[in-house]
Amino acid sequence: MRSHKHSVSAEREPVVTVVIPTRDRWPLLQRALASTLAQEDVDLEVIVVNDGSQDATDTELAGIVDVRLRTIRLTQSSGVAHARNLAVAAARGKWIAFLDDDDFWAPTKLRRQLEAAGSNDDVIVYTATVVVDEFGRATRIDPASPPLEVGRRLLDKNVLGHPSSILVSKTVFRSVGGFDEKLSIFADWDLWIRLLQVAQPIGVNEPLVAYSEHPSNMHTLAIGDARRELRHMTRTHRQLLHTRRTGLGSAELSRWLLGRYRANGRRVDSAREYARLGLRERSPRDLGRAVGMLLGERALAAGRRIAGAAPAEPAAPPAEPPAWLAAIRRTNSPSLDRTTVELAPCLPESLPASPRRAARRAAGKEPS
């Protein structure tokens, strides 16, 4: 039984266009797609850009019969920024919402954002986020930054966060030129900076987006390009940086980069980042870590023992999942098929159930 509207007729223009770029991740895309088609009380269309996938994505998408779903297929991968721009160019909705193929939404996400926007078009609406691991378990809640902090710190780091929480009008998006296709890791941050010159931020402090952290995140795989992209952004925003008399980035951004460099065994990049941090913050400890990184993680650990460094703080307990995520996990057995049905009652006949084993892995019911 369906208690909410999940439809848009072929004749009626959608209010929101949801943009999902994907490449070779059908089991994850299936979950993301189900969460968009389960949005409550919002007329929408979904544009999936298949960015050169070699897996079953094309075949599976072709098997979905739903007037709200449109697809764009690229024979060769052109990058996530290009894929998103293509989708927005084809969008019919007044509003644009972005969703990464490994993230998913609460059923009320778009409705709550449209309510927050009201009659204002020149806004960018963002939400709080529940961060989940590769098995869909909540690990922490990232609150929505206050709008004043967004304006004050937009050049320090990506205070708005990932694209999956963003809703922006198509007119405003196009007015700033869309995503910079020379960027990947920081393409979203770069766009938010430009959008915030013409639009007001509105935060919805409810965790309506599940953001997945796993080994195949783009921020993990492409982290080696981070500094090149930051140099490009510095050139792009030179005038704004000059006006504000500041530089791009912060100590917090450097520590974020360090976490990813070290997780990927990038010793030289880690050493350089520690050196930058040590010089900027006048921190002998970080300068020492720069030298230690060149010698390796074991040398760094030995240095900490010799210096009598305090032991690492114990890991924080798992976050309490929001009710909508807890409900999904309760119905998420024995496979993703039941999650799909629960998220989108309109989908059982249209959304393919295969590949079942891969879907169960994506849902956390089988180890990889």
Please give the full DSSP string across 46-59, using - where no structure is assigned: EEEEEES--SSHHH
pLDDT, tens digit, 9 for 90 and up, residues 247-278 = 999 988 988 888 888 888 888 888 888 888 88
Contact 20, 101 (CB under 8 A): yes
pLDDT one-digit tens code per residue, 91-141: 999 999 999 999 999 999 999 999 999 999 999 999 999 999 888 889 999
In angstroms, the CA 344 to CA 353 distance is 13
pLDDT top residue among 284 and 309 = 284
- Cβ partners under 8 Å of residue 63, min gap 6: 350, 352
For the ranges 166-180, 197-211, 307-321, the lowest mean pLDDT is seen at 307-321
Nearest Cα to Cα of residue 138 among 366, 368, 367, 364: 364
Confidence of residue 221 (pLDDT cuts 50, 70, 90): low
3-state secondary structure of 128: strand
Q: Which pLDDT tens digit goes with each residue over 54-77?
A: 999 999 999 998 999 999 999 999
pLDDT digits (tens, 9 = 90+) for 317-334: 677 889 999 887 655 433
- Comparing 60 with 368, which gets the higher pLDDT? 60
Return d(Cα 315, Cα 326) in angstroms, integer. Answer: 22
The CATH code belonging to domain 16-215+319-363 is: 3.90.550.10
Structure tokens at 244: 């504000």
Give phi and psi for 69, each to the nearest 5.
-95, 130
**pTM (predicted TM-score):** 0.82
Q: What pLDDT shows up at residue 314?
A: 58
**Percentage of the chain lying above the pLDDT 90 cut:** 60
Element (H, E) at 72: strand 69-74
For CATH 3.90.550.10, list the domain ranges present in the chain: 16-215+319-363
Distance CA 65, CA 193 (A): 38
Cβ neighbors of 258 (< 8 A, separation 6 or more) are 270, 273, 274, 277
